[in-house]
C-alpha cells in the first residue's frame, strides 16, 4: 500500500475533521477501526476509491478485505447499465445484518448511482441503515461526512457544482506497478444512451503541473505504468487557460525521466486529432495502443447516438493512425441493440469489426438509462434478437483475436512483467496491448523484459525471454 502523505494542499478543514474522527473512534473505544471498500464500474471509480481509501486512513482506519470485520463499509457505485445497479442493491442490503452484529458499523454509498436523485432518495428512505450518501463531486469531504454522522444525523450530499478540482487528497494506491492518474473529470458529450454526463457533471481538466507532479511521484516510488484517465482524454485542456492539450500533455509526461510506460483511456474519435496521433508516434514511452470506442458501425445509428463522427470518419482515423504506426493495436467499446437498430444496422458494426481487426472488444447490449434521450426512443427489436446479434459479434471477434494472435508468433515485444502465475511462469502486457505468458525467474517480476512470441494455445500467447 502506498500512502501519499503530501497533504500540504489537502483542504485544512478536512484534515481537521479527520483528526476529530480519529479522536472520536478512540473515545468510543473502537479498537483498530477497519474500513472495507467495494468499487463498481470503470477505472475512474477505481481511482476515486484509491483517494477514498487515503482519506479513510487519514481518519484512523486501516483497510480490510473482510467485509464482516469492518467498522466502515463504503460502496462506490456505477450507473452505466442496469445490471451494474442491480448488483449494488443486493450488496447494500446485506449490510443490515452486519450492523446488527456491530453497532459501530457505518455504511456509505457514493459514486455515479448515488448521484442520481431518485436512487439517492431510495437509499435514504428505504435503507435506513445507510448512514452516508454522497455524490461524485463531494467525495473529498468524506472526513467531514464521517464526523457529522458520528456526532449527528445521517448525511446526504449530492451537489454537482462543477467547481474546481480538489488536489492533494491522500491516496492509498491499490498497486505498486501500474497506477491510475486521472487527468480530467466529467463529460460534455451527452451521447444519447449515456448517463455519465448527468452523474459526473461537466468536463474539468486538472492543471498540467499537478499531473506532472503526481506522475513524477509515482515514477519515483517505482510505478512502471501510468494509466491516464478521463471519460474523453482527447479533450483534455479544452476551455482551460493553460493552453496544454492532450497531445502536449503526453509529450510532457513522456519527458519525465525514468523507465516507465504511459497508457491512456478513453479516447473519443471526434477529438482524436492528427496532432495527437503524431504525439503518440513520437513519444517512446506511450503505448502503441488506442482504446477508441466506435459504439456502432452504422452512420445512421451513430447520428442517433450523438457521437459526432460517422463510419467513414472513424475508418479514416484508423488509417491515419496505422499510416504513422503500422503495428498500433486498437480496442473498442460497442453497443448492440441501440433503440431502432435493425439487423442491417448491426451488420455494419460487424463489417467494421472485421475490417479494423481490434485486439479485443468490450461489448454491451443497450441498457435504457432513465433521463437520457435514448430511453424514450422506440425500441422494437426484442432482447432475444439483440442477444443473437451480440453472440454473432462475439464469435466474429473470437476469430479475429485468434488470427491477430497467431500473426504475432515470431515477433519480439517489450513486456511489463505483471503477474507471477507460479512455478516460474509469468505474464504481462506488451507495448501494444496483447498479453503474453513466459517462463522466468523471480527478478523479472515488475520489470520490462523482451519476449519472443513462440506459440498461441488456449487463447494464450506463449513466449521466451530473450533478454
From ligand SAH, ligand SF4, ligand F3S, none, which one binds at residue 369 (CB under 5 to 8 Å depending on kind)?
ligand SAH
Residues 37 and 49 sit within 8 Å (Cβ to Cβ)? yes
Which listed residue (105, 253, 335, 381) binds ligand SAH by CB under 6 A?
335
Residue nearer to ligand SAH on the CB measure, 370 or 402:
370
Residues 187 and 229 sit within 8 Å (Cβ to Cβ)? no
Residues 42 and 168 sit within 8 Å (Cβ to Cβ)? no
Which listed residue (36, 81, 206, 386) binds ligand SAH by CB under 6 A?
81
Size of site (CB under 6 A) for ligand SF4: 10
Residues 58 and 15 sit within 8 Å (Cβ to Cβ)? yes
Instruction: Report how far residue 174's alpha carbon sits from residue 172's, in angstroms, rounded to the nearest whole number.
Output: 7
Q: Between vectors from CA 170 to CA 166 and to CA 173, what angle results, nearest 5°?
A: 120
- Torsion, Cα 449 450 455 461, to 10 degrees, reads 50
Angle, helices 43-58/12-27, rounded to nearest 10 degrees? 60
Which listed residue (18, 78, 276, 374) binds ligand F3S by CB under 6 A?
78
Count of CB atoms situated within 10 Å of the CB of 27: 9
By CB under 6 A, the residues from 225 to 254 that bind ligand SAH are 231-232
The answer to whether residue 193 forms part of the interface with ligand SAH (CB under 6 A) is: yes
Question: Mask: binding to ligand F3S, 213-252, rule CB under 6 A, as x and -?
Answer: ----------------------------------------
Question: Mask: binding to ligand F3S, 95-134, rule CB under 6 A, as x and -?
Answer: -----------------x----------------------
CB of 366 to ligand F3S, least distance (A): 15
CB of 367 to ligand SF4, least distance (A): 13
Residue 53 grid coordinates: 481509501
Which listed residue (240, 310, 333, 385) binds ligand SAH by CB under 6 A?
333
Which listed residue (36, 200, 263, 268) binds ligand F3S by CB under 6 A?
200
The answer to whether residue 196 forms part of the interface with ligand SF4 (CB under 6 A) is: yes
Three-class DSSP category at 192: coil
Question: Mask: binding to ligand SAH, 38-77, rule CB under 6 A, as x and -?
Answer: ----------------------------------------
From ligand SAH, ligand F3S, ligand SF4, none, which one binds at residue 197 (CB under 5 to 8 Å depending on kind)?
ligand SF4
b/e per residue, 301-318, with b = 16+ CB within 10 A? bbebbebebebebbeebb
The answer to whether residue 315 forms part of the interface with ligand F3S (CB under 6 A) is: no
CB of 195 to ligand SAH, least distance (A): 7
Of 83, 82, 115, 42, the residue nearest 293 (C-alpha): 42
Is residue 96 left, alpha or beta, with left meaning phi > 0 and alpha meaning psi from -120 to 50? alpha
The answer to whether residue 244 forms part of the interface with ligand SF4 (CB under 6 A) is: no
Instruction: Report how far residue 235's alpha carbon sits from residue 246's, in angstroms, rounded to the nearest whole number.
Output: 7
Residue number of the CB closest to ligand SAH reads 333
Q: Which stretch binds ligand SAH (CB under 6 A): 123-131, 281-289, 363-371, 416-424?
A: 363-371
Q: Which stretch binds ligand SF4 (CB under 6 A): 155-163, 185-193, 208-216, 454-462?
A: 185-193
Residues 36 and 72 sit within 8 Å (Cβ to Cβ)? yes
Amino acid at each position: 500500500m502506498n500512502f501519499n502523505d503530501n497533504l500540504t494542499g489537502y483542504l485544512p478543514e478536512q484534515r481537521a475533521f479527520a483528526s476529530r474522527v480519529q479522536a472520536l473512534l478512540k473515545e468510543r473505544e473502537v479498537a483498530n477501526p477497519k474500513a472495507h471498500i467495494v468499487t463498481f464500474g470503470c477505472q475512474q471509480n477505481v481511482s476515486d476509491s484509491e483517494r477514498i481509501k487515503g482519506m479513510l486512513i487519514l481518519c484512523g482506519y486501516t483497510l480490510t478485505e473482510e467485509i464482516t470485520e469492518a467498522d466502515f463499509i463504503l460502496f462506490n457505485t456505477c450507473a452505466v447499465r442496469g445490471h451494474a445497479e442491480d448488483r449494488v442493491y443486493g450488496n447494500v442490503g446485506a449490510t443490515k445484518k452486519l450492523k446488527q452484529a456491530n453497532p459501530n458499523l457505518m455504511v456509505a454509498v457514493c459514486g455515479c448511482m448515488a448521484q442520481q436523485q431518485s436512487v439517492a432518495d431510495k437509499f435514504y428512505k428505504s435503507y435506513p441503515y445507510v448512514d452516508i450518501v454522497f455524490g461524485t463531486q463531494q467525495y473529498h469531504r468524506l472526513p467531514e461526512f464521517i464526523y457529522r454522522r458520528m456526532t449527528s444525523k445521517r448525511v446526504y450530499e449530492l451537489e454537482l457544482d462543477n467547481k474546481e478540482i480538489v488536489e492533494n487528497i491522500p491516496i492509498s494506491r491499490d498497486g505498486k506497478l501500474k497506477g491510475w492518474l486521472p487527468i480530467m473529470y466529467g463529460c460534455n458529450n451527452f451521447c444519447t444512451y449515456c448517463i455519465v454526463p448527468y452523474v459526473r457533471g461537466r468536463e474539468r481538466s486538472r492543471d498540467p503541473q499537478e499531473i506532472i507532479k503526481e506522475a513524477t511521484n509515482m515514477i519515483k516510488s517505482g510505478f512502471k505504468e501510468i494509466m491516464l484517465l478521463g471519460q474523453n482524454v482527447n479533450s483534455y485542456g479544452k476551455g482551460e487557460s493553460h493552453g496544454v492539450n492532450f497531445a502536449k500533455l503526453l509529450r510532457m509526461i513522456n519527458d519525465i525521466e525514468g523507465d516507465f510506460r504511459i497508457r491512456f483511456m478513453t479516447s473519443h474519435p471526434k477529438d482524436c486529432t492528427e496532432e495527437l496521433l503524431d504525439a503518440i508516434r513520437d513519444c517512446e514511452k506511450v503505448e502503441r495502443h488506442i482504446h477508441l470506442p466506435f459504439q456502432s458501425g452504422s452512420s445512421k445509428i451513430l447520428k442517433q447516438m450523438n457521437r459526432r463522427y460517422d463510419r467513414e470518419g472513424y475508418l479514416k482515423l484508423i488509417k491515419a493512425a496505422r499510416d504513422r504506426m503500422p503495428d498500433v493495436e486498437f480496442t473498442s467499446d460497442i453497443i448492440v441493440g441501440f433503440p431502432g437498430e435493425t439487423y442491417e444496422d448491426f451488420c455494419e458494426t460487424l463489417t467494421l469489426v472485421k475490417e479494423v481487426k481490434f485486439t479485443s472488444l468490450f461489448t454491451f447490449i443497450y441498457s435504457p438509462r432513465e433521463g437520457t434521450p435514448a430511453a424514450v426512443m422506440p425500441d422494437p427489436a426484442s432482447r432475444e434478437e439483440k442477444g443473437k446479434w451480440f453472440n454473432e459479434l462475439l464469435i466474429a471477434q473470437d476469430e479475429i483475436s485468434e488470427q491477430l494472435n497467431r500473426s504475432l508468433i515470431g515477433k519480439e515485444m517489450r513486456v511489463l512483467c505483471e503477474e507471477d502465475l507460479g512455478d516460474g511462469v509469468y505474464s504481462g502486457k506488451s507495448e501494444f496491448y496483447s498479453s503474453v505468458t513466459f517462463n522466468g525467474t523471480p527478478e523479472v517480476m515488475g520489470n520490462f523484459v523482451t519476449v519472443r512470441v513462440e506459440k498461441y494455445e488456449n487463447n494464450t500467447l506463449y513466449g521466451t525471454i530473450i533478454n
